[in-house]
């Protein structure tokens, strides 16, 4: 599925889990990052989003492999004076550099992983990365970091198992392809069904935010 669907799906999954486990996101708590107060909810959303997009790091054309380029559209320097033009040029040049760097790393990971939807889409890979997120969270006093990341990563695998290609999620234990939907309902990337699923997930998020 597309990166947008995975991102929205990760957030929807996190909000669903937040209803099952009290204070998963701890939205009311505030931490200080470089002296700036940041809500735990915002940090949770960012980490869930990272986990939801990260499995596609094995695809140079994926959303996560092109985040710097996508971020250029949000550059705030819109006026045409010399200072703003210079700042915009610097920001865009830095974004271009990091985009090339990430795409290079993505190509390397693709080769090492065995192609797209290979090792980065294994359940065991998600487990190892979630363990690393737990270790990182303990070191920076963010004990929920592993949970946020794990929810995002798991949501990506779940959504990919709803597609026509399915997912060999239990490799290297078995080469079997797993599907979560019957054949007539499986989602083709970029199809009308995927757009409908994404719209439904957005409605679900809005419902979680305002109706509960």
Query: What tens digit of pLDDT does each residue of 131-172 get?
Result: 999 999 999 888 889 999 999 999 999 999 999 999 999 999
**Distance between CA atoms of 21 and 14, rounded to whole angstroms?**
10
Q: Which residue has the higher pLDDT, 68 or 105?
A: 105
Give the range of the structural domain holding residue 49, as residue numbers without chain letter: 3-59+116-210
- Report the percent of the chain where pLDDT is more than 70: 85
101 domain residue, yes or no: no
Instruction: Quote the longest CA-to-CA distance of the chain.
Output: 60
**Distance between CA atoms of 127 and 133, rounded to whole angstroms?**
10
Q: Which residue has the higher pLDDT, 143 or 79?
A: 143
Q: 3-state class of 32 per DSSP?
A: strand
Cβ neighbours of residue 212 under 8 Å, at least 6 residues apart?
19
Angle at 9 between CA 170 and CA 73, to 5 degrees: 120
Question: What residue spans of the chain are helical by DSSP H?
Answer: 3-20, 40-53, 67-71, 82-113, 123-139, 145-160, 192-210
**Distance between CA atoms of 166 and 159, rounded to whole angstroms?**
9
Residue 173 confidence (pLDDT): 93
Q: Is the dihedral of CA 82, 85, 88, 94 positive or negative?
A: negative
42 domain residue, yes or no: yes
Residue 160 confidence (pLDDT): 95
Distances from the Cα of 107 to the Cα of 55, 61, 100, 130, angstroms: 13, 10, 11, 23
What pLDDT digit, counting tens, does each position of 27-73 carry?
557 666 656 667 777 888 899 999 999 999 999 999 999 988 887 66
How many domains are there within the chain?
A: 1
pLDDT at 24 over 60: no
52 domain residue, yes or no: yes
Q: Is the dihedral of CA 145, 150, 156, 159 positive or negative?
A: negative
Residue 69 confidence (pLDDT): 84
Specify whether the CB–CB gap between 120 and 58 falls below 8 A.
yes
Residue 211 confidence (pLDDT): 64
Residue 21 is classified by DSSP as S
Nearest Cα residue to 148 out of 167, 166, 161, 129: 129
pLDDT at 174 over 80: yes
Of 75-79, 85-89, 101-105, the poorest mean pLDDT is in 75-79
122 domain residue, yes or no: yes
End-to-end CA distance of the chain: 29
81 domain residue, yes or no: no
Q: What is the pTM of this model?
A: 0.87
pLDDT at 101 over 90: yes
139 domain residue, yes or no: yes
Q: Which residue has the higher pLDDT, 196 or 80?
A: 196
Q: Which residue has the higher pLDDT, 117 or 22?
A: 117
């Amino acid at each position: 599925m597309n990166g947008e669907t995975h991102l929205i799906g990760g957030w929807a999954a996190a909000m669903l889990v937040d209803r099952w486990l009290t204070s998963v996101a701890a939205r009311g708590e505030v931490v200080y990052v470089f002296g700036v107060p940041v809500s735990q909810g915002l940090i949770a959303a960012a980490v869930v989003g990272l986990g939801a997009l990260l499995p596609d790091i094995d695809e140079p054309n994926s959303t996560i492999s092109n985040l710097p380029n996508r971020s250029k559209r949000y550059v705030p320097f819109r006026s045409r004076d010399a200072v703003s033009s210079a700042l915009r040029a610097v920001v865009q040049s830095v974004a271009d550099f990091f985009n090339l760097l990430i795409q290079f790393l993505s190509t390397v990971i693709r080769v090492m992983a065995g192609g797209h939807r290979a090792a980065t889409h294994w359940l065991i890979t998600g487990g190892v990365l979630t363990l690393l997120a737990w270790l990182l969270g303990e070191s920076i006093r963010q004990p929920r970091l592993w949970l946020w990341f794990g929810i995002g990563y798991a949501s990506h695998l779940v959504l990919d198992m709803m597609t026509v290609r399915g997912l060999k999620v239990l490799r290297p234990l078995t080469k079997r392809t797993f599907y979560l939907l019957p054949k007539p309902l499986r989602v083709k990337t970029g199809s009308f069904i995927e757009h409908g699923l994404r719209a439904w997930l957005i409605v679900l998020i809005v419902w979680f935010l305002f109706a509960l």
